A and B are shown apart, each in its own frame.
Chain A
């Protein structure tokens, strides 16, 4: 299996030109262990890419690099026209990130948490926006509740509100349906779903759903090497299963 797009063809393009995300030869190591190896990806604005791969394949690491939270060890990373990590400050504020942690202060209420983030991002008419978002995820009645008292699923719903509060151009979602019951999932999906001009990168273990989504897929194998990158239709389910079944390093 290999990448559907040619890396060599991309080398001739100016860095980051018109691409929402451009990764060229991205490596990330923790100590002497490589977590991502020579990743090449290019994603146009408005596109959605689903990242799949077994545990430890570097999916979350990739997302954190795109979110400017981790530095690449080597390679070129251009996000929303900003070369990371040097120009991270230009990309920040245009990215929404929903990771494994809800990034909510436990001793603030739901509304206070969102208000805090709204102030950090300079969101205008924050109260109206917060009310509308909480309403959409069915959390309006919990606005005054301390975050420490929320169930994990409820915290995930509020975290989804936090991630889209500032209407980001790039949405990075790490297992967005984790901890959500089907009903809550239905509420959160439209919030973090496709929208005009919104580029999305979604990490998921549900590769069957990812492959049937019709979008683009990046499959990382054990050790963080790219096993496949291209349209979902180009990766048969059997090959995806083989990527998951590969031996861990």
Chain B
């Protein structure tokens, strides 16, 4: 637990100091909303279109952080430092997942209000939407950390990480969109099969956290 806290604190400190990931993600997401606003030529979105625009934007913004997640470990010897220490490699995985969740939460605190301002007539869907996004964030972070760690040793890592990650995220997107679509329906949020989709999201999170826990030590070894 001490190693997990040390690595997480290190990552958050470095991000606060350098602002390498989160501002870029937020800028990307807001720019994408502006493009959608003019590209679709609509001032309001609802249902599946609204859910798709929001979730796809968050996902692609997340890729920016996923690609950077292990840069310091790769370029500055962090992998070696952690492998030399008497710590479980999964502490690194858990810390990276937690850091990515933190980045996504900050991203959404900034961009969801912008999304609502651009595209929603009324904001009552936002509290339950936050729950959907929170569960989606955990799954996205778990698969993102895993894909990033697998790609980090490759010269084509910037391409490889998204190529590994995007197919793995299809079930997550289906479940998150299934939960978010009725919330963003015209005329106010509906809760049709909301619980079922949340359960699917939760299951996805558990599966990929366990996969990461199970394989990360092997990923770390040479």
Contacts and interface: CB of A to CB of B under 8 A. Distances in A.
Interface of A: 67-71, 85, 89, 92-95, 97, 99, 101-108, 112, 116-117, 119-122
Secondary structure at the B interface, as helix, strand, loop or mixed, is helix
Given A105-B72, A105-B78, A112-B13, A122 B84 contact: no
Interface residues on chain B, size class: 20 to 34
Contacts of B221: 71, 85
A99 B80 CA distance: 10
Contacts of B10: 105, 108, 112, 116
B156 interface: no
Nearest to A146: B17
A119 B6 CA distance: 6
Contact of A70 (B3, B6, B81, B222): B222
Contact of B86 (A70, A71, A89, A116): A89
B83 A69 contact: yes
Interface of B: 2-3, 5-6, 10, 13-14, 17-18, 72, 76-78, 80-87, 221-222
Given A69-B222, A117-B85, A121-B85, A104 B2 contact: no
B222 A108 contact: no
Report the 4 A-B pairs with minimum CB-CB distance, sorted nearest first. Answer: A93-B86, A119-B6, A103-B77, A120-B85
Contacts of A104: 76-77
24 contacts: A69-B80, A69-B84, A71-B221, A92-B85, A92-B87, A93-B85, A93-B86, A94-B86, A95-B84, A101-B76, A103-B76, A105-B10, A105-B72, A105-B76, A106-B76, A108-B10, A108-B13, A116-B10, A119-B2, A119-B3, A119-B6, A120-B2, A120-B6, A122-B2
A94 to B, nearest CB: 8
A94 B77 CA distance: 19
Nearest to B91: A120
A4 B2 CA distance: 46
A97 B84 contact: yes
Given A69-B222, A101-B80, A116 B18 contact: no
B6 to A, nearest CB: 4
A105 B14 contact: yes
Interface centre among A94, A116, A117, A121 (most CB of B within 10 A): A116
Contact of A117 (B14, B18, B72, B81): B81
Given A99-B80, A119-B6, A120-B85, 8 more contacts: A92-B84, A93-B86, A104-B77, A106-B76, A107-B17, A117-B85, A120-B82, A120-B86
Contacts of A120: 2-3, 6, 81-82, 85-87
Contacts of A117: 81, 85
Contacts of A102: 77
B185 to A, nearest CB: 45
Contact of B5 (A68, A94, A119): A119
B65 to A, nearest CB: 16
Nearest to A122: B2
Contacts of B80: 69, 97, 99, 101, 103
